[in-house]
């Protein structure tokens, strides 16, 4: 299988290899993936669509950076966001489950977090919640604390975590 194309120069080779492994397993099992992304801004969807010959393993991606987008595009309940916040385990779970419900995919992964500390929330940089929903299985959750390592490093770390979750879901 060919390597990722557009993102290859910027990606560590091991991340490229993991991406190809996830996509090959999804192809082999005739599974489709959907993404629901906030702090990664569509980077995961871009990565999953960058491997030639594996496009049928990706159904769609939702870039839902704002709470309004999470409600409108995914159907995340406003009450949930008000009660738990947009950066929470509950929000990540709802995003993944709603992406699954609003797609033709059998697996959906979500990412929500702070790539950098938002105003008034010092110390939150690098706090990320991820969820992976698969039809007929419990939704898996992860809470990561990548730290204040910079926006690009947090986003790259999110890709690793999301791909690891997808690898577990397709195996």
100 lies in a domain? yes
What percent of the chain has pLDDT above 90? 77
Question: Six-digit token pair at 169?
Answer: 């879901």
- Is there a domain that residue 3 lies in? no
Query: What is the model's pLDDT at position 49?
Result: 94
Is 126 a residue whose pLDDT tops 80? yes
Query: Cα–Cα distance between 65 and 112 in angstroms, integer?
Result: 8
The sheet carrying 140-145 orders its strands as 58-63, 33-37, 107-113, 127-134, 140-145
Q: Is residue 2 part of a domain?
A: no
* pLDDT for the residue numbered 3: 55
Domain-embedded: residue 160: yes
pLDDT at 1 > cutoff 60: no
Domain contains 104:
yes
Q: Which token pair is 67? A: 């709470």
CA 62 to chain centre: 10
* Average pLDDT over every residue of 8-30: 89
**Number of domains, the chain:** 1
Q: Note the pLDDT of residue 152.
A: 87
Residue at 47 is within a domain: yes
- What pLDDT score does 113 carry? 95
Alpha helix locations (H) across the chain? Answer: 13-28, 43-48, 67-69, 78-84, 89-101, 151-170
The yes-or-no verdict on residue 9 having pLDDT over 80 is: no
Here the tokens at position 19 are: 């991406």
More confident: 93 or 12? 93
Q: Which domain holds residue 165?
A: 8-170
In a domain, 1, yes or no: no
CATH of the domain at 109: 3.90.950.20
Q: Single out the residue of 166, 169, 86 nearest to residue 127, CA to CA.
A: 86
| pLDDT at position 41 over 70 | yes
Q: Is residue 80 part of a domain?
A: yes
Q: Are 24 and 17 in contact (CB under 8 A)?
A: no
DSSP codes, 52-65: TT-GGGEEEEEE--
């Amino acid at each position: 299988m060919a390597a990722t194309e557009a993102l290859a120069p910027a990606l560590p080779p091991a991340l490229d290899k993991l991406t190809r492994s996830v996509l090959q397993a999804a192809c082999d099992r005739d599974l489709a993936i959907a993404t629901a992304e906030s702090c990664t801004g569509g980077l995961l969807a871009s990565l999953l669509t960058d491997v030639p010959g594996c496009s049928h393993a990706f159904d769609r991606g939702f870039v839902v950076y704002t709470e309004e987008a999470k409600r409108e595009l995914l159907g995340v309940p406003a009450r949930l966001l008000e009660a738990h916040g947009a950066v929470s385990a509950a929000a990540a779970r709802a995003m993944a489950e709603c992406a699954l419900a609003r797609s033709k995919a059998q697996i959906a992964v979500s990412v929500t977090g702070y790539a950098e500390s938002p105003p008034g929330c010092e110390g939150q940089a690098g706090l990320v919640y991820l969820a992976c929903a698969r039809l007929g299985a419990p939704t898996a959750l992860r809470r990561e604390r990548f730290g204040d390592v910079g926006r690009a490093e947090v986003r790259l770390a999110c890709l690793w975590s999301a791909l690891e979750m997808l690898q577990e879901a397709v195996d």
